[in-house]
């Protein structure tokens, strides 16, 4: 049995929402889908600090069988008097290793 959207969201403008079998599409005023429950989103697993010259390895069993993405955000502006080297981020199984950089950085690990 399908419940009409106007009953599920009585205080919402349901003209921008459409039911899609086993999900929900939310559309903008132009009719383009801006969110669908059929989409797979990136979820944050961790965020941690790595100092310049430091190597850090972390084990994430939740990454088993999943796609992952890791990025780094430098905390301070790059120095003008020397070369700044970004960290290398690698994954082997469930272990993410970060190191080899000369600058302090936040590491963000995502999965889907």
> How far is CA 51 from its chain centroid?
22
For residue range 87-104, what is the model confidence (pLDDT) as tens digits?
999 999 999 999 999 999
Mean residue pLDDT of the chain comes to 85
DSSP string, 56-112: EEEE-GGGTTS-EEEEEEESSPPPSSS---PPEEEEETTEEEEE--SS-EEEEEEE-
Place of tokens 């941690």: 48
Q: List phi, psi (to 5°) of 10.
A: -65, -25
Lowest mean pLDDT among 16-25, 42-51, 70-79: 16-25
- pTM beyond 0.75: the answer is no
Place of tokens 């989103």: 41
């Amino acid at each position: 049995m399908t419940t009409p959207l106007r009953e599920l969201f009585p205080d919402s403008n349901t003209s921008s929402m459409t039911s899609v079998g086993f999900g929900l599409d939310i559309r903008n005023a132009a009719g383009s889908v801006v969110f669908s429950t059929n989409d797979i989103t990136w979820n944050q697993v961790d965020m941690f600090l790595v100092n310049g010259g430091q190597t850090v390895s972390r084990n994430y069993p939740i990454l088993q069988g999943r796609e992952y993405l890791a990025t780094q955000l430098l905390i301070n502006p790059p120095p003008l008097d020397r070369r700044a080297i970004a960290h290398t981020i690698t994954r082997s199984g469930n272990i993410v290793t970060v190191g080899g950089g000369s600058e302090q950085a936040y590491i963000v690990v995502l999965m889907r």
